[in-house]
Amino acid sequence: MLNGKKIVLGVSGGIAAYKAAALASKLVQAKAEVRVVMTESAQKFVAPTTFQALTRHPVYTDTFDEKDATQIQHIDVADWADFVLLAPATANLIGKLANGLADDMLSTTLLATEAPVYIAPAMNVHMYSHPSVMRNLQRLDQWGFHFIEPGEGYLACGYVGKGRLEEPETIVEVLENQQHPKVLKGKNVLITAGPTREKIDPVRYFTNPSTGKMGFALARQAAFLGAEVTLITGPVNLTAPAGVKRIDVITAEDMYNQVLEHFSTNDIVIKAAAVADYRPKQTFAQKMKKQPGEYTVEMERTKDILAELGKRKEHQYLIGFAAETNDVERYGREKLAKKNLDAIVINNVSEADSGFGHDTNSSLFITKQGRETTFPVISKDEMARQILMKSLEELGW
């Protein structure tokens, strides 16, 4: 979504400037055209040649170093930009912008541009919470500037708290999000993801190989399209997409309760989680010690979340997933009808490059009306986007 976008990356003087180099690289990888403007202080942390090599463009550092006599440098850069990204944005740069000060190349460019400006602050936790900085941030917010909030964690100064520059991947994700047409704006989307765990004792449980990648891709793409997204996920090692409300669960019973609690307020519900069909009938508070001979675990059925949603749905568009290894299409069609779904995504998880753990997937998408779409092996993010767009076509939105 950043392909061909003209981005001015403003780098100011903080230790987080080293992350700006990685950010510039990721923006270029996303096919954006990037021009970097650095303050004098930023050059104390990272050399301009680093950004020149990464972006393949000259780096702007001095208002009076006119590279083209036919143009006024800071005006030309300001007019060129589709948007401006300040990362890291120090307390000093934020103060200049909020008070209309222009005493270097970056600050003059900022006052001259009419492009949207995204600010990613980075500073000491006490600086970030200082009343003057808060006032400046509030003023910029009122003027329509966009913010990419700093993360919490260990800071270079030794403190732990809010003030760490957001990770480059997340910043790129936020920018991409802003480029998508907001066709789901005003809609609520509920997505389940990942596996569940059914405990036997404190150190053993039954689970499955689901990593949650498909569900998280769906959540990310739905957020890109403007939806308010709630993601209910089992235990996974993934970071929630920007702007997505995440609810963590462990067992099938946990997921059942959370899904039913949120079901009525959502417009589209996609159940991509691999929920356990069975759980141990008896569990133990203490670790079971090894015994001679065999051991049999008696299992009982868990609640069928998708079937329950099919009974309860009113206005919701309900999509299920079927992970199969044989008679794939037949089982998927049976599930579509039996559970009163509006559509189903049928995966053959035994195929190479598809199913659990992969970054790619292939599937058959079938609607209640019998319309079919075959997705070849594509990235899970691309499949997620196409599933959502197909659903919008069915809904007539």
Contact 202, 287 (CB under 8 A): yes
Q: Tokens at residue 357, please?
A: 């753990």
Per residue in 317-344, is it b (16+ CB within 10 Å) or e — as a string?
Answer: bbbbbbbbeeebeeebbebbeebbbbbb
Query: Is residue 165 a contact partner of residue 148, using CB atoms and an 8 Å limit?
Result: no
Q: How far is CA 371 from the centre of its chain?
A: 30
Residue numbers in the known binding site for CTP are 277, 287, 321, 335, 339
Q: Which residues are annotated as a binding site?
A: 277, 287, 321, 335, 339
Cβ-based neighbour number of residue 168 at 10 Å: 19
List, in order, residues 6 or more apart from 22 with CB less than 8 Å away: 168
Q: What are phi and psi of 339, to 5 degrees?
A: -105, 10
Residue 35, beta-bridge partner list? 8
From 157, 238, 260, 378, the catalytic residue:
157
Annotation says 327 is catalytic: no
Q: Name the residues annotated as catalytic.
A: 157
